[in-house]
Amino acid sequence: MTAPSEQGRAGSRPSSTALIGTERVSLSHPEWAGAEIPPGTRRLPLISADAVRRPGVGHTRERLEALGRERASGVWTPEAAARRERGAEIRRETLKDMSGHLDRLCASLEANGAIVHRVSTPEQAREAVGQVARDHGVSLVAKSKSMATEEIHLTPYLNGLGIDVVETDLGEYIVQAAGQRPSHIVGPALHLSKDDVTHLFADLNGAPVSDRPDDLAAFARARLRADFKAAQMGICGVNFAAADTGTLVVVTNEGNADMVTSQPDVLVAVMPIEKVVPRLSDVGVLVPLLSDTANKQFVTTYQTWLSGPRDPDAGGDGPRELHVVIFDNGRSDVLGTPLEEVLCCIRCGNCQFACPVFRTMGGGHGYASIYGGPIGAVLSPVIGGHSADADLPFMSSLCGACADACPVKIPIPDLLVDLRNRYVEEHPRPVEDAGWRAWSLAWSTRVGYAASMIGARAASVVPGGILRRLPLVSTWASVRSLPSFTGAGAVRRAARKKDGHDR
């Protein structure tokens, strides 16, 4: 293995070492798995059909199924169940006074010396981060994992300002180098195999690399270490922000958030509003809950607690300047409605691990959205500017495994049904809606119901070739044989016969 090039650190405007060689990357991916989804390409039925045929999907599915069995997703020991109850209470307490908790958080952060940017839209959030970068002449950013920054499309924006942004979580680094977006909230590269990563790193290296997992990790570590040293600015996400003390808590298993938040002179923490918790002591419940459901750990290997910038008089460590960007992006609009429950989410990814739709598509790319899986199918249509995701709630069989797996008891299937109703109300489809009205009219009367049973029996003697041309029937029959309708209505007739009279 060759040592990482030092060219990234040469000159006055450092650029990334870790991203050297990305132009050589040959690992291909479908358009809908890319870092940015091109507008107008998002048609869920076609994408989901592609996803179940994607090479390697069976292998990913089997790994996820095995993981599901090992983790016993949805089964709660008495101790874990008690923690789950407490976590669910804390999250709902937070929702009840979201703006009050945010006000207290902002005051605490400012008292600690942080500079707070409380904004509404993704554009404003991006611009706030970009302005900090420009003010400090930043050319290289070391970033720790954050779905919030994915949501506001921060990296492409900063790239447009001529700034290199390096993902320092191993899985995120892998998908970034591959030009893809994360396929899971906590396991962003879970759709890729060891062979995929070996080929990817060999391309980056311009020479073969060992396929031993330790060697692959060491390759990434050496390259990322150079960027940690050279970056003028760090960007991190936030797992929990304690309103009472202004403490920001970031959990990782690689320690990369420790590096991002301690090495560069300037740090920007980016969070959506629901990361706030009332008290620092709540972290004692929520971190073990998150660690358990995300990764079957009692606590993560690293916990990074940020309590403000470095105190120049006291020496110490940390960034000289700490900025906190808090964005809303449509979330406040659902407060006070049943959909506010989605803001309880602590981003553990357990619903994604548990979901048979997610597993069968080999990860979250098939959802064609930043947030995939069950929680993504609720969150994506709720947050602002994502009306393109309005039909996402239909991509669920409503099996309920997600609700059982959720550490804060979000009733995901109920919210999916609510959002389907909202979609129907907001997107009139004359033929389908008229069909449901006709069905409703027929099946709420005795005559209409009987007529539909006679119709079904009549259809069963119609040659299959004609029957299969009916829209719904043809879709059903494209992958399955048709059931027989010769017995339609038989239950009522049988009961009448045995009774000896027409009831």
* Residue 325, strand partner residues: 117, 270
Contact indicator for 278, 101 with CB cutoff of 8 Å: yes
CA-CA distance, 298 to 191, in Å (whole number)? 25
Q: Among 196, 332, 394, 467, which residue interacts with other proteins (rule: CB under 8 A)?
A: 394
Smallest separation, CB 53 to other proteins (Å): 8
**Residues 405/358, Cβ–Cβ less than 8 Å:** no
CB of 265 to other proteins, least distance (A): 48
- Binders of other proteins among residues 332 to 371 (CB under 8 A) are 356-357, 360-361, 366
Q: Convert 213-244 to b/e letters by CB count within 10 Å (16 or more is b).
A: eeebeebbbebbbbbbebbbbbbbbbbbbbbe
Shortest gap between Cβ of 433 and other proteins (angstroms)?
Answer: 8
| Helical packing angle, 412-426 and 373-382, nearest 10° | 40
Q: Is 405 a residue that touches other proteins (CB under 8 A)? A: no
Q: Give the other-Cβ count within 10 Å of 270's Cβ.
A: 26
Task: Tell the smallest beta-carbon distance from residue 91 to other proteins (Å).
Answer: 21
CA 62 to chain centre: 21
Output 88 or 286, the one with its CB closest to other proteins: 88
Residues 337 and 282 sit within 8 Å (Cβ to Cβ) = no
Candidate residues 52, 80, 161, 335; the one interacting with other proteins per rule CB under 8 A? 52
Give whichever of 450 and 466 is closer to other proteins, judged by the CB atom.
450
Contacts of other proteins in 90-119 (CB under 8 A): none
Out of 49, 72, 462, 470, the only residue in the binding site for other proteins (CB under 8 A) is 49
- Footprint of other proteins on 202-241 (CB under 8 A): none
Q: Which is nearer to other proteins, 305 or 476 (CB)?
A: 476
Residue 320 touching other proteins (CB under 8 A)? no
**Region from 201-209, 321-329, 338-346, 392-400 binding other proteins, contact rule CB under 8 A:** 392-400
Question: By CB under 8 A, what part of segment 54-93 binds other proteins?
Answer: 61, 65, 68-69
Q: Which of 253, 422, 467, 468 binds other proteins (CB under 8 A)?
A: 422
DSSP letter string, 157-210: HHHHTT-EEEE-SHHHHHHHHTTB--SSSS-TTTTS-HHHHHHHHHHHHTS---
> Closest distance between other proteins and the C-beta of residue 429, in Å?
11
Q: Which of 48, 112, 124, 210 binds other proteins (CB under 8 A)?
A: 48
Contacts of 434 (CB under 8 A, 6+ apart): none
Near other proteins by CB under 8 A, which window of 27-35, 103-111, 305-313, 489-497?
Answer: 489-497
Question: Of the candidates 240, 251, 248, which has an alpha carbon nearest to the alpha carbon of residue 275?
Answer: 240
CB of 147 to other proteins, least distance (A): 24
CB-nearer residue toward other proteins: 34 or 489: 489
Nearest-approach distance from CB 412 to other proteins, in angstroms: 11
Helix (H, G, I), strand (E, B) or coil at 269: strand
Amino acid letter, 468: R
The reply on whether position 496 binds other proteins by CB under 8 A is yes
Q: Name the CA radius of gyration of the chain, rounded.
A: 26
Span interacting with other proteins, options 50-58, 116-124, 284-292, 302-310, rule CB under 8 A: 50-58
CA distance 293 to 43: 31
The three-class DSSP label of residue 465 is: helix
Query: How far is Cα 23 from Cα 479, in angstroms, rounded to an integer?
Result: 41
Please state, in angstroms and rounded to a whole number, the distance separating the CA atoms of residues 126 and 115: 16
Cβ pair 198, 211 in contact under 8 A: yes
What's the rounded Cα separation, in Å, for the pair 66 and 11?
Answer: 49
Contact pick of 96, 160, 397, 470 for other proteins (by CB under 8 A):
397
Shortest separation between residue 491's beta carbon and other proteins, angstroms: 4
Residues 123-152 that bind other proteins (CB under 8 A): none
Answer whether 220's CB lies under 8 Å from 127's CB.
no
What residues does 272 pair with on adjacent strands? Answer: 327
Give the other-Cβ count within 10 Å of 157's Cβ: 20
CA dihedral (284, 287, 293, 296) in degrees, to 10, reads -90
Binders in 425-484 for other proteins, by CB under 8 A: 433, 436-437, 439-441, 443-446, 449, 452-453, 456, 472, 475-484
Among 88, 403, 406, 415, binds other proteins (CB under 8 A): 403
| Interface positions, 240-259, toward other proteins (CB under 8 A) | none
Strand-pair partners of 104: none
* Per rule CB under 8 A, count of chain residues that contact other proteins: 72
CB of 48 to other proteins, least distance (A): 4
Distances (CA, A) of 208 to 195, 203, 412: 12, 8, 45
Q: CB 481 → other proteins: shortest distance, Å?
A: 3
**Cβ proximity of 86 and 268 under 8 Å:** no
Question: Per CB under 8 A, does 498 bind other proteins?
Answer: yes
Of the candidates 205, 423, 467, 468, which one interacts with other proteins according to CB under 8 A? 423
Rounded least distance, CB 468 to other proteins, Å: 12
Select 43 or 194, whichever has its Cβ closest to other proteins. 43
Minimum CB separation from other proteins for residue 41, in Å?
A: 18
Residues 8-47 that bind other proteins (CB under 8 A): 44-45
**Single residue of 138, 269, 401, 412 touching other proteins by CB under 8 A:** 401
Among positions 51, 125, 132, 202, the unique one binding other proteins when judged by CB under 8 A: 51
